[in-house]
Structure 1
Amino acid sequence: MTLPPDLDTDAGALRAAMVKGLAGATADADADARCPVHPAWLAAAEKVPRHAFVPGFYLPADEPDAQGLTVWEPVTAKLDYGRWLAAAYSDATLITQFDGEKTDWERPAVRHGGAPTSSSTLPSLVLRMWSDADVVEGHTVLEVGTGTGYSTALACERLGSSHVSSVEVDAVRLEGAADALYGCGYTPALARADGLYGYWPEAWFDRIVAACSFRSVPPALLSQTRPGGKVLLPLSGWLYGNARVLLTAAGDGTAEGPLLPGTISFMPARAHAAPAYGNPSDWAAGLREEPPRSARHAPERLTAATEEAFHLRFLAQGAVPDAQLVTVDGAPHLIDVVSGSVATLTPDSGAWSVREGGPLKLWSRIEGLIDAFDAAGRPGPETFTLRVDDDGQRLLHARLPQLRLPQPVR
């Protein structure tokens, strides 16, 4: 496809405006932010042409379709040059893949629904991740999740390509990222590999930064980090509660570090994605003979569009690590495919009733966690520490019982 001759000029102006906006947002950041974006990362963003890494992506239409599904419209320079370039230099996440499928960007089709499986993360978050990881010149870094390659290019621009390694499990995504990186003159070490196991050929690393989330800390990442080095990775679970942790590795497989503030979410590593649970009605059918009781806490404590609910959903995963939450006809269902347990909450005269079945009383466990959380004064994520040692992976707080992350895949 032939691109307009003024592309470099147009892109340069939009890129400068984007970076200026990011710099302003950094200056106005809340006082509780962990750290501002380092000026060196803003300088890198001034040079890296983001549009080269997103030749095609999807944007949501203004209205859903007749079935209520999001309508995803393909955007390329050929379809709409202005929209494509403006979006490429917006501080927005751009969806580049659904359901692990390869898109023919020469003849892309409108999509109805689907699960995003790759994206170009919004630039402000990419810069925040590199800054929060305390990356400086001279460091060797491993990026887990190459994606489009834009974040990789920023690291190469600041550190030099020889200091950067990046792994990606999806061969299609890696091929596109490699073409874009090499086309821009960046030559990091790239490999198709599962981020759960890092990348031993280039270890040890001063910093490891993940662009996908994990249910627990992969031991290989700690083993491949120099003593005193740091690992920044998002944590998530099957309730889709998210947090970020910055761990300092001791060099013997142990590590410790704080959760970081904010309500940031990433796509899960594919090996850590939630399993299919079948038909929720089938699960609920087994509860018909179970006596209901009044719920002490409403499901909104987990589902509300608030920072506290976002954080509490992450903590709840420590109480019910294998549970998933799905709402059907206004009734939330907790489904645990590992133990076979289920709980259903039903509106009841302005309150909620709950039925529970199986070996684990799922909602009762969550209620116990919420009780302890409230009694502790509803502490924010930055007051928690994650410790990884021979006793497992434990989320620690001075006024709360410890919560354990799932056993990691080895």
Structure 2
Amino acid sequence: MADETVRPESRWHRPLATTPRHLFVPRWWTSRERDGAVGYELHDGVSDPEAWMRAAYDSGRTLTTRVGPHHADHAAPGTVIPETWPTSSSTLPGLVVMMYRHAFLADTSRVLVTTGSGYGTALACKRLGSEHVTSVDVDPYLVEAARERLAAAGHHPCMEVCDLTGELPGGYDRIISTVSVRTIPGSWLTALAPGGRMVTTLSGTGLIIVADKTDDGGAFGRVAPESAGFMRTRHGDDYDPLPGNAQLWETAQNAEGESVTRGRYPVMRVSSTWDVRSTLELVVPGIEHRMDVGEDGTRTAYMLHVDGSWARATAAGARELPTVHQGGPRRLWDELDRIRTWLVIDGDLPVSGAMVRIDPDGALTLSRSGWTATLP
């Protein structure tokens, strides 16, 4: 796994090669679909050691350890959970190392990392020594389980239960978050040492933000060239429920809408892109995307927004132009097509390589070539 992730001379090779990832994921969930129903199925490592080792040492695989409020450690064998949001995981090793590399860790860096399964914390401890590592999570069980498993691997970092978006338990040279945030918490800027660096992702986007603290108490940096997606921060046992949209979903499926047009481009799966999805999220935050592909190849994409806006785009095939129905206060598909036109004309979108400015109060502004977007 280490050889597949980094070169042998990398300082991350030894942590990857000697950290027992399976110790941190004795059980895990995998998504499954059966009889048209989507859910999560429990896997127990002890009962199938071969599958356990294969999953744990797959360099490109994230292992989900918690879905909704259900931790795999506590589930009975054979348990299947209906479809819900994953809430904790052991992130794929290559992605953890990429986030750490963006942090430019020095041997004496005091780092704050996020706990989850504890595997990423173990890698940081192996690289820096436990005395330089603080690991936090909002879930008391995750912190305690990770503490025990880290101790079994010979690591004893500072472990704290806290909300990552609230007050942090110390001061740090680096803050590396493998959960995503909507905006940068002001507490991060308070806890970060002068010249310190933060690395995180913005929820709803594929954007990795790398920024260094500036003398005025803010931070300045850039959007990393790679894309990544992590589970978003939660503040309790599970995510807050999304606003009810059953009626809007019914409308989006069946209504004619106030606008019926021909789309400029074929139907796309927005959630599978990073630059288009990220730009759209900055322009119109909070769009829910759904997509159906019929047995005859018909593709229908839906966009729903809490303000009552909706769009439905249906095309006879992957390369056909869709008929687009839209309603509500905003034309969501028009916003998407505008971004795609931008991409066709310029060859990329300004989020790619954008500069990042974070004000002392946490307001974040991205800018490139005259384009700006600000998240309060």
- Label 1:90 to 1:351 Cα distance change in 2 as closer, same or farther (>3 A): closer
The equivalent position to 1:72 in structure 2, one of 10, 26, 41, is: 41
Q: Is the 8 A contact 1:258 1:382 kept in 2?
A: no
Q: Give the Å deviation of 1:71.
A: 5.8
Q: Is the 8 A contact 2:184 2:362 kept in 1?
A: no
Q: Is the 8 A contact 1:323 1:334 kept in 2?
A: yes
Could you tell me which residue of structure 2 aligns to residue 180 of structure 1? 149
Could you tell me which residue of structure 2 aligns to residue 43 of structure 1? 14
Residue 188 of structure 2 corresponds to residue 217 of structure 1: no
TM-score (norm. length: structure 1): 0.79
- Label 1:210 to 1:348 Cα distance change in 2 as closer, same or farther (>3 A): same
Q: Is the 8 A contact 2:22 2:56 kept in 1?
A: yes
- Matches of 1:347 and 1:224 in 2, distance apart? 51
Offset from partner CA, 1:38-79 (integer Å, 9 cap, x none): 722222223322222112123456xx31115256341321x1
- Label 1:57 to 1:65 Cα distance change in 2 as closer, same or farther (>3 A): same
Could you tell me which residue of structure 2 aligns to residue 266 of structure 1? 230
- Matches of 2:144 and 2:220 in 1, distance apart? 35
More deviation, 133-142/150-159: 150-159
- Label 1:75 to 1:276 Cα distance change in 2 as closer, same or farther (>3 A): farther
Could you tell me which residue of structure 2 aligns to residue 162 of structure 1? 131
Could you tell me which residue of structure 1 aligns to residue 211 of structure 2? 247
Could you tell me which residue of structure 2 aligns to residue 52 of structure 1? 23
Q: Is the 8 A contact 1:19 1:45 kept in 2?
A: yes
The equivalent position to 1:125 in structure 2, one of 76, 92, 95, is: 95
More deviation, 309-318/291-300: 291-300
Count of residue pairs brought into register by the alignment: 362
- Matches of 2:253 and 2:64 in 1, distance apart? 37
Q: Is the 8 A contact 2:316 2:322 kept in 1?
A: yes
- Matches of 1:403 and 1:234 in 2, distance apart? 16
Q: What CA RMSD, in Å, does the superposition of the two structures yield over aligned residues?
A: 2.8
- Label 1:74 to 1:372 Cα distance change in 2 as closer, same or farther (>3 A): same
Q: Give the Å deviation of 1:317.
A: 0.7
Could you tell me which residue of structure 2 aligns to residue 354 of structure 1? 324
Could you tell me which residue of structure 1 aligns to residue 296 of structure 2? none
Q: Is the 8 A contact 1:41 1:131 kept in 2?
A: no
- Label 1:348 to 1:69 Cα distance change in 2 as closer, same or farther (>3 A): closer
Residue 319 of structure 2 corresponds to residue 319 of structure 1: no
Q: Give the Å deviation of 1:245.
A: 1.3
- Label 1:348 to 1:109 Cα distance change in 2 as closer, same or farther (>3 A): closer
Q: Give the Å deviation of 1:138.
A: 0.6
- Matches of 1:348 and 1:84 in 2, distance apart? 42
- Matches of 2:315 and 2:304 in 1, distance apart? 18
- Label 1:219 to 1:297 Cα distance change in 2 as closer, same or farther (>3 A): farther
Could you tell me which residue of structure 2 aligns to residue 193 of structure 1? 162
- Label 1:73 to 1:107 Cα distance change in 2 as closer, same or farther (>3 A): closer
Q: Is the 8 A contact 1:65 1:71 kept in 2?
A: no
- Label 1:286 to 1:72 Cα distance change in 2 as closer, same or farther (>3 A): closer
- Label 1:55 to 1:291 Cα distance change in 2 as closer, same or farther (>3 A): closer
Could you tell me which residue of structure 2 aligns to residue 15 of structure 1? none
- Matches of 2:256 and 2:75 in 1, distance apart? 52
- Matches of 1:394 and 1:286 in 2, distance apart? 38
- Label 1:334 to 1:257 Cα distance change in 2 as closer, same or farther (>3 A): same
Residue 113 of structure 2 corresponds to residue 149 of structure 1: no
- Label 1:216 to 1:391 Cα distance change in 2 as closer, same or farther (>3 A): closer
Give the secondary-structure state (helix, strand or coil) at the position aligned to 2:366: strand
- Percent of counterpart pairs with the same letter? 28
Give the secondary-structure state (helix, strand or coil) at the position aligned to 1:296: coil
- Structure with more helix by fraction: 1
- Matches of 2:211 and 2:241 in 1, distance apart? 25
Could you tell me which residue of structure 2 aligns to residue 98 of structure 1? 67
Q: Is the 8 A contact 1:206 1:230 kept in 2?
A: yes
More deviation, 81-90/161-170: 81-90
Residue 371 of structure 2 corresponds to residue 401 of structure 1: yes
> Displaced runs of 4+ in structure 1, greater than 4 A?
271-274, 379-382
- Label 1:102 to 1:379 Cα distance change in 2 as closer, same or farther (>3 A): closer
- Matches of 1:392 and 1:104 in 2, distance apart? 39
Q: Give the Å deviation of 1:128.
A: 1.8
Q: Is the 8 A contact 1:72 1:113 kept in 2?
A: no
TM-score (norm. length: structure 2): 0.86
Q: Is the 8 A contact 1:102 1:172 kept in 2?
A: no
